[in-house]
Chain A
Amino acid sequence: MTSPARALVTAPFFSPTRIWAMAWNTLTELTRLKIFYFLLIFALLVIGNSFFMARLSPEEEFQMLKDISLGAMSIFTSLLAILATAMLLPKDLEDRTTFTILAKPVPRYEYLLGKLLGILLLLALSIVVMTALFLTVLWLREQSALGEYRAAFAQKNISADDFARAVSSIQSVSFNINLLPGIVIIFAKAALLASLTLMISAFASSAIFTMMITIAIYFIGHLQATAREYWLEGMDIQWWTRPALALVALLFPDLQAFSLTDDIVAGNPITTALFTQTAALGLLYVGVYYLLACFFFSNREL
């Protein structure tokens, strides 16, 4: 039998098993909060949208389906990342779970990492389900549209040239392999927002405060690139505006860098190099915000 003091001394500095246990527990807790119900709304949106869009031409319908589905995916994952993460630490403090965990030989950085991985698992799971649903609807609509053209061709209502043109046109606007890296970038943005929210939550006094601040940063983050451009490219601005723009550029994340799906759904291809560089930036943000969260949390009086 080891004493608590001895256990503290012999406890490993970094334990993946402990972190995994906390991550899994976080995912289970969030699942119990019935957060996944939002997927039902997504399903209704995608399926309902595809029925409504039947009034449009197949090409327009696919464009709408992609625009709305990926836009909804982006909104849902961003909201989920902010709202679910903002609740984590305050809820644990309120339930006194934090004290129970930290009374054991668990370092605070492991506790935070467990929480972050838990939320990332939740986001990944949500994205996978939404992607599967979206691709299924897209495939079904594509088959239906192609079926209509095949029937028309079989009945000789359209010429071979028109048929080939219609098939090629439908295939060019329906599934596009670039959608997949685009969806990964949506996940990268959500992961960034989750780690940013965790960082704010590490020093914030309430979940509402965390949410408000993160949402404000979300909007400012989309203007960060414009501020950076004005600051660095010598635009004709007031002298006192320049330091303010520099602060915005340095303090806030560049969220426009992760808004690539707008152009991907329009047919713009994404290269492997660009995808890797953008994902790497997301990973860098997640890492740094996590480290800053550890810094805040280690100095926090519990």
Chain B
Amino acid sequence: MKTVAIAIALLLLFGAARLPYEIHLSKVQQADGFRTTNLNLPLREQVGQMGFVAALSGFRSLVAAFLWIEAHNAWMKVEWGRMAALLDTVTTLQPKSVLYWDMSAWHMAWNAALAAFQDPAQPSEVLRRRAQRQYWELGKKFYDDGLKANPDSAQLWERLGILDRDKFEDHAAAAQAFLTSATKPGARPYVRRMAAYELAKIPGREQEAYDLLKKLYDEGPDERKPALILALKQLEEKLGVPTDQRIKETK
């Protein structure tokens, strides 16, 4: 009994001694993007008791991987509602995975939206269009939430721009997303061109688009793609740029 009492006292003493270090380490880990997942009651309902226990026991990524495979199976069976719920759970479990956010948004905004628009069971085109738009919104939500967890992901900013451009036809939002992507580490070299093309479509922002395209053109032959030259020439015409300041390319 005496040994047990001494042992507990020693454990408590050790606990008290390591406490400041553990608090410090926990803060450092959180600042570095670790231990940020919120394992709360809604998640418990989403993943079930066993999944929640596994996630709590340090197997969060493993649970997410199995749920992703389930989501893939739901996709194969064209069960969009179930798939959306599974993707939501996966991204909650693994918020740092850019791939999960990107693929989830793509599945919703492209695959599920198209399926909803082509739904043979729904004769009303208005309702089909509404369902399609709801899936676009869901895809956008995945990108927005993904960017909250990974604000420096060039990939997510780029894909958000593509969604704004191709689905919502919101050129200002698309241009802004591409421009933000260009400032992030690992950005693709073409996103600045994509931003300029979008700016050129916005009435009143042609000068901004021209300046960006001209800057890219001046960077050298690698940037002088046919589409860029064509856009630049159209803007020169539209803005009335003096002949001596126009680019020399003939095509």
Contact = CB atoms under 8 A, between A and B. Distances in A.
Given A64-B65, A266-B97, A281-B25, A222 B10 contact: no
B3 A67 contact: no
Interface stretch (A127-135, A144-152, A268-276): A268-276
B60 A262 contact: yes
A247 to B, nearest CB: 8
Interface residues of A, number: 58
Interface stretch (B12-20, B108-116, B118-126, B243-251): B12-20
Contacts of A219: 53, 56-57
Nearest to B103: A60
A165 B189 CA distance: 10
A-B pairs, top 8 by smallest CB distance, nearest first, are A250-B15, A71-B62, A67-B65, A266-B97, A266-B96, A259-B58, A262-B60, A262-B61
A292 B61 contact: no
Interface residues of B, number: 50
Given A172-B186, A257-B29, A296-B3, A249 B58 contact: no
B2 to A, nearest CB: 9
Contact of B97 (A72, A258, A267): A267
Interface stretch (B31-39, B130-138, B167-175, B207-215): B31-39
Interface in B32-64: 32-37, 53, 56-62, 64
A74 B58 contact: yes
A228 B26 CA distance: 11
A2 interface: no
B230 interface: no
Given A56-B72, A173-B99, A266-B94, A274 B35 contact: no
Interface in A71-98: 71-72, 74-75
Given A249-B19, A274-B29, A281-B21, A256 B58 contact: yes
A228 B22 CA distance: 10
A197 interface: no
B26 A71 contact: no
A214 B142 CA distance: 40
A165 B188 contact: yes
28 contacts: A59-B99, A60-B68, A60-B99, A60-B103, A68-B65, A74-B58, A74-B62, A203-B3, A203-B4, A219-B56, A222-B56, A228-B22, A249-B19, A250-B19, A256-B35, A256-B58, A260-B29, A262-B61, A263-B34, A266-B61, A266-B96, A266-B98, A267-B97, A267-B99, A281-B18, A281-B22, A295-B7, A296-B3
Contact of B10 (A63, A71, A274, A292): A292
Contacts of B239: none
B96 A267 contact: yes
Interface of B: 3-4, 6-8, 10-12, 14-16, 18-19, 21-23, 25-26, 28-29, 32-37, 53, 56-62, 64-65, 68-69, 72, 94-100, 103, 186, 188, 190
Given A278-B25, A281-B21, A296-B7, A222 B65 contact: no
A254 B24 CA distance: 13
Contacts of A57: 103
B29 A63 contact: no
Contacts of B25: 257, 277-278, 281
Interface in A226-241: 228, 232
